[in-house]
């Protein structure tokens, strides 16, 4: 009986050890998988701003502040040497202050002076490098650059036709579809970069921002001309993975240029081509 009891105890102990060995082998087999998942989570956390793991971005499209050419209704196009005036600098400073509530993660600007100077105000107080993107430059209006819109509206049928339908243009003039293709490609190229972050700001021009907003809103290219983008204003678009883009604001500014008390004045006849063309700066 003693031998039988010892044998039973031995078999029970062996069974227990085999059970423990099974548990150990199962845990040992699962450990590499657990470790890999933990490492992946840590990697994702460390690369939270990476384009590969980023789920949502808020894109800021900012128009430059006022210039003397805006006041004179003169087309600058891609000409250099058109800086902000005193009012434009004030506008840029006010907008930059208003946007301090947002964690802007990158500042990308058209290299033209009026946009670059506006971007510089946005960069103040932020540990961000101002980066230039030539593809964000204003519409190339060829020989029309430097001319007054009023004169073009009176004397140039090609200009009036272009204002009426900016999807077609004379040789040497960019059409709206051409501008839209280059600016959308530039924005999306920047947004794919790992270091760009969740709140990139793009500083550009009226036509450029109209066409970007139209693209993300799903509007026809020709409809972009009907949008109004004020000086030193911001348009916000939220882009989220597997979701359609959401336009949050269009042309918002802390002190909008159109907000003025009405004053009695003699009615003036304004040529529609001139009125629409004034936004092409």
273 within some domain: yes
So what's the pLDDT on residue 223?
Answer: 94
- Domain of residue 186 covers 56-256+268-277
Residue closest to 279 by CA, chosen among 217, 208, 214, 215: 208
35 within some domain: no
25 within some domain: no
Name the residue with tokens 């039973």: 8
Regions of the chain short of the pLDDT cut 50: 20, 23-24, 26-28, 30-31, 34-35, 37-38, 40-43, 45, 48-49
244-264 tens-digit pLDDT: 999 999 999 998 888 888 877
Q: How far is CA 94 from CA 1, 20, 140, in A?
A: 97, 70, 29
7 within some domain: no
So what's the pLDDT on residue 88?
Answer: 98
Helix, strand or coil, per DSSP, at residue 62: strand
pTM: 0.77
263 within some domain: no
9 within some domain: no
Q: Please report, for the domain that includes residue 148, its CATH number.
A: 3.40.50.1240
3 within some domain: no
162-182 tens-digit pLDDT: 999 999 999 999 999 999 999
Helix, strand or coil, per DSSP, at residue 84: coil
Torsion from C-alpha of 259, 93, 196, 246, nearest 10 degrees = -10
List alpha helices for 156-263, DSSP H.
157-164, 176-191, 206-217
So what's the pLDDT on residue 16?
Answer: 53
Instruction: Name the domain count of the chain.
Output: 1
So what's the pLDDT on residue 260?
Answer: 82
28 within some domain: no
Residue closest to 191 by CA, chosen among 61, 43, 40, 44: 61
b/e per residue 141-153 (b: at least 16 CB within 10 A): beebbebebbebb
Tell me the pairing of strands 56-63 and 234-240.
antiparallel
């Amino acid at each position: 009986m003693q031998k039988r009891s010892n044998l039973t105890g031995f078999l029970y102990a062996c069974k227990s050890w085999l059970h423990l060995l099974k548990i150990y082998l199962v845990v040992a087999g699962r450990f590499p998988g657990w470790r890999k998942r933990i490492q992946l989570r840590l990697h994702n956390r460390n690369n939270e701003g990476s384009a590969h793991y980023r789920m949502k971005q808020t894109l800021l499209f900012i128009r430059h502040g006022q210039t003397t050419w805006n006041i004179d209704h003169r087309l600058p196009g891609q000409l250099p040497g058109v800086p902000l005036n005193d009012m434009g600098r004030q506008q840029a400073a006010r907008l930059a202050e208003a946007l301090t509530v947002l964690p802007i993660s990158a500042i990308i600007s058209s290299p033209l002076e009026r946009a670059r100077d506006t971007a510089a105000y946005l960069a103040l107080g932020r540990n961000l490098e101002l980066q230039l993107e030539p593809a964000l430059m204003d519409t190339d209006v060829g020989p029309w650059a430097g001319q007054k819109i009023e004169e073009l509206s009176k004397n140039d049928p090609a200009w009036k036709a272009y204002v009426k339908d900016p999807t077609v243009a004379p040789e040497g003039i960019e059409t709206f579809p051409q501008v839209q293709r280059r600016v959308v490609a530039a924005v999306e190229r920047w947004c794919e970069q790992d270091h760009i972050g969740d709140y990139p700001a793009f500083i550009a021009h009226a036509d450029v921002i109209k066409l970007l907003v139209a693209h993300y809103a799903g509007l026809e290219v020709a409809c972009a001309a009907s949008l109004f983008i004020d000086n030193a204003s911001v348009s916000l678009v939220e882009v989220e993975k597997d979701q359609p883009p959401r336009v949050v604001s269009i042309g918002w500014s802390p002190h909008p240029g159109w907000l003025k008390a009405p004053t009695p004045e003699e009615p003036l006849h304004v040529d529609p081509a001139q009125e629409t063309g004034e936004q092409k700066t």
